[in-house]
Amino acid sequence: MEPITQPIRVVYDTRSWAYRSKTWIAYFAAFGVVSGDTIRYLVGWVGFGVWTLVFSIAVWVMLIRSKPGSTLKLIPWYLYVLFGFMLLSSALSNYSLISFGAWMVSVITASFSLWLAHAFDWRHILRVFANTIRFVLGASLLFEFVAAAIVRAPILPVFKNFTGDIPPSRAFYWTQGNLFNGERIQGIMGNANLLAYVAMVGLILFAVEFAIVGTSRVLSVWSMVASAICIALAKSAGISFAIAAVVVAAIVSIAAEGKDHSTRHRYYRVAWSVAGVIGFFVLSFRAEVFALVGKSPDMTGRTMIWRKVLGLIPERPLQGFGWLSYWLPGIKPYEGLVVINHVPYYQAHNAFLDMWLQSGIFALIAFITVIVITFIKLWQLAVRHTSALYLWPILVFMGIIVQNFTESRMLLEFGWVLFMLFAIKVNEPNELLEPLGTSPKRVRLLGRGLRRNQPQQQKDR
């Protein structure tokens, strides 16, 4: 590429109206995908639909007006293949219209990722998600405190998610007010696993934010504390394993930077070997391991769910039952398929099984292809760049991949946005990244040199 045709990294005027307006749209849209259940509990599905429609239109208008041709070219072919197989499963489904509607929702959600990739750099996207999650976690802890210390009773959603006056299970409460009794808290999302999931992503973002001096150091520290508290009190075993994987990925990626090819790959072989040994140990002694984290050996009914899903897949292994992302009540074969303690479950609790069940084996292969290629590219970005800023995409991606072996959150809302964002933006030309430093990031992260990173990393508030 000739120098005159090389992309030029844009320095944004953060005080301009255009910049502020798109940032606030990003915040409200991000809150909708991070904490959609909160909106649904507050204003119901109709209110959530209005929220989604308003900000989807706003995102589309901003995207079209910004002439996203250059970013559209970043969409990899294998992502088109994935959406193509998902659409094909909708066409062959017994509930085609509903499945096509779900496919359109997935496309619209992905368009938010496309707009983020086009409108903002990695630093600003970090800021948008970090501030959104900071608000969600702070509101969750306050909400739990009010329920436990002031109301002193469980709190029902404003718009109930059950019929009748009495919930069939305590799981239907918005929060059970467990802050002081040692049981799991649910936060404003009304779901302990989802709270832990968001807190894990937040913990990564806040740590990177601290490293790059992205905001007040004190604010970053307190945000990490809030994340840790939410993770500890939500008590999600899947998140514990995901965080362990993130820590290993962070250590290996930081250590591998600047090393020669053979040394880097020796680190990788050791890391994968250790992961394999730990995985074998967990599977072999799962009863004891899960007892340590307060879970049953079947991971709270997940093995039963997986058996039922694996029993359904052979009925339509190639085309699947039709894309939905999250199973919908009243649709066969999902209605009544999984009910535990009077609570119906509408996901396979494994994103890979869910993709196979809904869209068939070819969609699963395309899904895995997107994950593998995106992971490799994100890893290369993290290892080859000297700024800690570029750690957050690979660490978050690692976390959500591991977590989605026991959940299916990667297929909708926040998980889908992150997945699509990483798959698209990782293809951005190197010329659009921040300048390289003069030393590896570990030099700045392991000593007083951390502050020397500040001049080349513009402080962004």
pTM: 0.90
pLDDT digits (tens, 9 = 90+) for 435-450: 887 778 777 777 644 4
With a cut of 80, say whether residue 461 has pLDDT above it: no
Q: Looking at the domain assignment, is residue 202 inside a domain?
A: yes
What letter would DSSP give residue 157?
-
Helix (H) or strand (E) holding 344: strand 343-344
Mean confidence (pLDDT) of the chain: 87
Lowest-confidence segment of 122-131, 133-142, 223-232, 293-302 by average pLDDT? 293-302
Q: Report the distance separating Cα 421 and Cα 115, nearest Å.
A: 9
Residues 409, 194: contact at Cβ < 8 Å? yes
Average pLDDT of span 252-277: 84
With a cut of 60, say whether residue 457 has pLDDT above it: no
Average pLDDT of span 53-77: 91
pLDDT for residue 1: 42
CA distances from 307 to 205, 229, 349 (A): 35, 34, 11
pLDDT for residue 377: 96
Q: Looking at the domain assignment, is residue 458 inside a domain?
A: no
Selection from 140, 105, 217, 184 nearest residue 453 by Cα: 217
Residues 34, 134: contact at Cβ < 8 Å? no
Q: Report the distance separating Cα 175 and Cα 164, nearest Å.
A: 18
Q: Report the distance separating Cα 415 and Cα 200, nearest Å.
A: 12
Helix (H) or strand (E) holding 118: helix 96-119
pLDDT for residue 6: 45
What letter would DSSP give residue 174?
S
What pLDDT band is residue 459 in, cutting at 50, 70 and 90? very low
pLDDT for residue 13: 58
Q: Looking at the domain assignment, is residue 191 inside a domain?
A: yes
Number of C-beta neighbours around residue 213 at 10 A: 19
Q: Report the distance separating Cα 124 and Cα 121, nearest Å.
A: 5
Q: Looking at the domain assignment, is residue 361 inside a domain?
A: yes
Residues 325, 416: contact at Cβ < 8 Å? yes
Overall domain count for the chain = 1
Q: Looking at the domain assignment, is residue 60 inside a domain?
A: yes
CA distances from 60 to 30, 68, 243, 322 (A): 14, 11, 34, 26
Q: Looking at the domain assignment, is residue 186 inside a domain?
A: yes
Helix (H) or strand (E) holding 340: strand 339-340
The one-letter code for the residue type at 195 is L
pLDDT digits (tens, 9 = 90+) for 193-212: 999 999 999 999 999 999 88
What pLDDT band is residue 344 in, cutting at 50, 70 and 90? confident
Q: Looking at the domain assignment, is residue 461 inside a domain?
A: no
Domain assignment of residue 115, given as a range? 3-453
Residues 428, 374: contact at Cβ < 8 Å? no
What pLDDT band is residue 289 in, cutting at 50, 70 and 90? low
What pLDDT band is residue 162 in, cutting at 50, 70 and 90? confident
Number of C-beta neighbours around residue 239 at 10 A: 28
Residues 371, 363: contact at Cβ < 8 Å? no
Q: Looking at the domain assignment, is residue 272 inside a domain?
A: yes
